[in-house]
Chain A
Amino acid sequence: MAVFAAGVILASGTGLADSKKRRAFNLEIREGKVTAVNKTIRVTEGEDVHIEWVTDKAVELHMHGYDIHANAEPGRSVSMTFQAHTAGRFPISAHGHNHGAMIYLEVYPR
């Protein structure tokens, strides 16, 4: 009984009882393009998302829809951290380029 109670306390403390997931992605930009083969990141509605960017040239990133901006520079990584509260397919593009998203974030409904 005491072992069971201790187990529950330990579990809630370490976050194992937490049903929401945290999704982390590391993306690299080279020559104005994302190196990842799959140009779509998929998460589920409600998850916490953390995207870490590294780049070879300075670039202003913009995630449409969620309207998140990040200035990536060579030599230091920059991150976008947010909760995926709305389902949809959101392009992430480089500011200053007329067309083309570099990568897409797809948030799937629950």
Chain B
Amino acid sequence: MDKIHIGLTPLLAAFAAAISLTAAAPAWAHAFGVRYDLPLPLWLYLGGAGLAVALSFAVMAVFLKGQGAGMEEFRFDLLALPLLGWLGGPMVLNLVRFVSLAIFALLLVAGVFGHPDPFKNIAPTFVWVVWWVGMAFVSILAGNLWDLINPWKIAYTWMANYRGEPDGTRPYPVWLGRWPAVLFFLVFAWMELISEQAEQPPSLAMLIIVYSAITWTGMRIYGRDTWLRHGEVFAVVFALLARFAFSHGEAGKWHIRLPAVGLLCRRPVDISGVCFVLLLLTSVTFDGILETPLWAAILTWIAESQTLRPALVAMQDAGVDLIAAIKTAALMVLPALFIAVFAVTSKVIAWAGGGAAGTREVAGYFVLSLVPIAIAYHLSHYLSYLLIAGQNIIPLLSDPFGMGWNLFGTTAYTVNIGIVNAKMIWYVAVVAIVAGHVLAVYIAHIMAVRVFEDRARALRSQIPMLILMVGYTMISLWILSQPIVS
């Protein structure tokens, strides 16, 4: 009874089967992820770019003078304050956990039994807007809330406590690293950016069920916390984003700290972790690229290309959705490209640093310093979407299953598209992008001083990193300056 031989392979096969099953559901005419952002005007684009570059040199200059490091050690425990202590107590924490689990159950019920129209059912809006975008924002700004409210973690813990079962029947194979999370994230990114099925309530419910089975099985085999660190993809994503945040909670404490300092590390991230970070970063950028006129032009060029015509016709005859196929190819190619560029940059940094660390170690030490740039872009790209599409949750709360209820009297609520000023979004975007860039350069410099003992070498080693970061920031700004083309 104890040694149930469940490998990962059948689980992954089940996952793949679930995806193919969901392809059968009908598609609805409305576009779920419509955004109304205006392209960034040229003067803001150029001004932001110039400021980012100028401030990068300012950061370098500070470090040249021998200053700059030390501030990252600052930490203050909010729960140490007399009136806030009870917030960390078991009663509050368990209440929050119960609410999270209840919402999880509600979404599952809505997906299975509720109205199949994604606009009449609470599940798609809650999962894709409030949770995926909203939770990312919360993780970025406030920290590791997901550690507390992860429904899979809560359900598993309460069930395991109740049944008194041992945690983890096998040790986690070291070579497996974070590769399961990498694989699951690739699948998730595909569903988020390319598939149209994941907006449909029944498909969404099916995906949640399959992922829950995989997660709980992984926890059962390898131990809850081990699986959360290596295989529960959302725990890995939100934990990564939470490293940027101003605050971090653990073991009854809630620390306030400087932004981005959580991205500093004492040991290099392993290869699977490096690939995970770069995959996440690429998917954030790819999301934006898919809406640019450049991408539309690429698709048109491919569709009209005479050389590719025979292959395309053959694929279409075989029933392949060509646009989805091209996007999928891009989703495979772009991360590989970014990994290659980062590998080359790491090699040059290692060489410039004088041998204190090899390419692999450098990659592992410095990959996290790129995260603020992606975070800044993510915040800029999604702020208005969160505030506008997020309003749809208000009428949906009164009629979660699309059955004509009006529980809280809000079904007549119409979305206010003027809730956030287009100009305000521009300014927030540029400030965020510049700030993200500066934080990235700052983090990389602290890491360089830690990794390469010789200060002069350390700063020289940052030149390739600076070039990479400036390039990455320029791409983010460029995407924001492009008119959105659906």
- A residues bordering B, Cβ < 8 Å? 40, 64-67, 85-91, 93, 95-101, 104, 106-109
Contacts and interface: CB of A to CB of B under 8 A. Distances in A.
A83 B414 CA distance: 17
Contact of A66 (B34, B38, B417): B417
Give 7 nearest A-B pairs by CB, closest first: A87-B422, A88-B36, A86-B418, A109-B423, A65-B36, A65-B417, A86-B417
A110 to B, nearest CB: 9
A89 B486 contact: no
A108 B29 CA distance: 28
A98 B29 CA distance: 5
B422 A91 contact: no
A107 B332 CA distance: 36
Contact of A85 (B36, B37, B418): B418
A88 B422 contact: yes
B483 A40 contact: yes
Nearest to B415: A67
B29 A89 contact: no
B484 interface: yes
B39 interface: yes
A88 B417 contact: yes
A100 B422 CA distance: 23
Contacts of A85: 418
B421 interface: yes
B38 A99 contact: no
A91 B421 contact: no
A66 B484 CA distance: 17
Contacts of B421: 87, 109
A64 B29 contact: no
A88 B38 CA distance: 5
Majority SS of interface residues in chain A?
loop
A109 B39 CA distance: 12
Contacts of A107: 422
Given A64-B36, A98-B29, A109-B423, A89 B483 contact: yes
A107 B37 CA distance: 10
A85 B418 CA distance: 8
A99 B29 CA distance: 8
B27 to A, nearest CB: 6
B38 A106 contact: yes
Contacts of B27: 98
Contacts of A65: 34, 36, 417
26 contacts: A40-B483, A64-B34, A65-B34, A85-B418, A86-B418, A87-B421, A87-B422, A87-B423, A88-B37, A88-B38, A88-B422, A89-B36, A89-B38, A89-B39, A91-B34, A91-B486, A93-B31, A96-B29, A98-B27, A98-B31, A99-B31, A101-B485, A101-B486, A106-B483, A107-B422, A109-B422
- Chain B interface, >50% SS class: loop
A100 B39 contact: no
A55 to B, nearest CB: 18
A37 to B, nearest CB: 14
A39 to B, nearest CB: 9
Contacts of B485: 101
Contacts of A93: 31, 486
Interface string B420-461: 011100000000000000000000000000000000000000
Contacts of B39: 89
A106 B46 CA distance: 21
Contacts of B486: 91, 93, 99-101
Given A88-B417, A101-B486, A104-B483, A95 B36 contact: no
A67 B37 CA distance: 16
A36 to B, nearest CB: 15
A88 B36 CA distance: 5
Contacts of A87: 38, 421-423
Nearest to B419: A86
Contacts of B196: 98
A104 to B, nearest CB: 7
Given A88-B37, A99-B31, 9 more contacts: A64-B36, A86-B417, A87-B423, A89-B484, A93-B486, A98-B27, A109-B421, A109-B422, A109-B423
B278 to A, nearest CB: 29
Interface string B237-271: 00000000000000000000000000000000000
Nearest to A91: B486
Interface string B35-66: 01111000000000000000000000000000
Contacts of A90: 36
A98 B36 CA distance: 18
